[in-house]
Chains A and B, each alone.
Chain A
């Protein structure tokens, strides 16, 4: 009896957490707004989309339709471009506690070696695209090390292309 009481409480807790997670989900009759596109499930006229996570009112002729936008936690919202700058990411890598000091030094040495290789390829006029797989491997290695810092890991993943472009672009 005592155990069944515990089980009921645990079940109640799980139900509570599940209901918390599903709060704010868009109902079938409403309009789902993602970060890039507007998907209309009802034929309504969307006039303006202001901010994520807010309820907006859209008028169509005489009827008023309430659009509920899914909160940020329900969507894959891309990080702001200001958070994805190479310098900011390097600073965050330096400060993160998910990687130890020695590991950071080892990664730094790998990145510096890779930069030297890219520079030498560029000087010889060779195609740097052949180094792309090596770059991807290096990024994957860093992402694997950032297992305990998922935010930074996600941002590096999103910034992968811009990092590559900044490495291979010809600096005047």
Chain B
């Protein structure tokens, strides 16, 4: 009976906006800048920021490539491969 309720709920479930995670966000940004990632979620995320407001994020894609995402104080995003 529970299965029926689940199926009925899925049938009538409205389409909702799903919030993306940081891992998905980083993977999307890497791909948006034209780099191959091999999946939509990254792992081994390391974040750091300096006093001038620049932010650096390092993450590993499912294909094994490790990238560094730099966000400067003006909001410009750049991606470079580390390995």
- Which A residues have a C-beta under 8 Å from some C-beta of B? 6, 9-10, 13-14, 17, 96-103, 105-109, 141, 145, 148-150
B33: chain A residues at CB < 8 Å are 106
A107: chain B residues at CB < 8 Å are 32
Size bracket of the B interface: 20 to 34
Contacts A98-B17, A102-B77, A149-B17 hold; do A6 and B4 have CB atoms under 8 A apart? yes
A9: chain B residues at CB < 8 Å are 4
CB of B25 within 8 A of CB of A102, answer: yes
B20: chain A residues at CB < 8 Å are 97-100, 103, 148
The 6 A-B pairs of least Cβ separation, nearest first, read A100-B25, A97-B19, A102-B29, A106-B77, A100-B20, A9-B4
Count A-B pairs with CB separation below 8 Å: 68
CB of B12 within 8 A of CB of A145, answer: no
What is the chain A residue whose CB lies nearest that of B32? A106
B21: chain A residues at CB < 8 Å are 100
CB of B11 within 8 A of CB of A102, answer: no
CB of B18 within 8 A of CB of A17, answer: no
CB of A103 within 8 A of CB of B29, answer: yes
Set A13, A98, A106: member contacting B7, Cβ < 8 A: A13
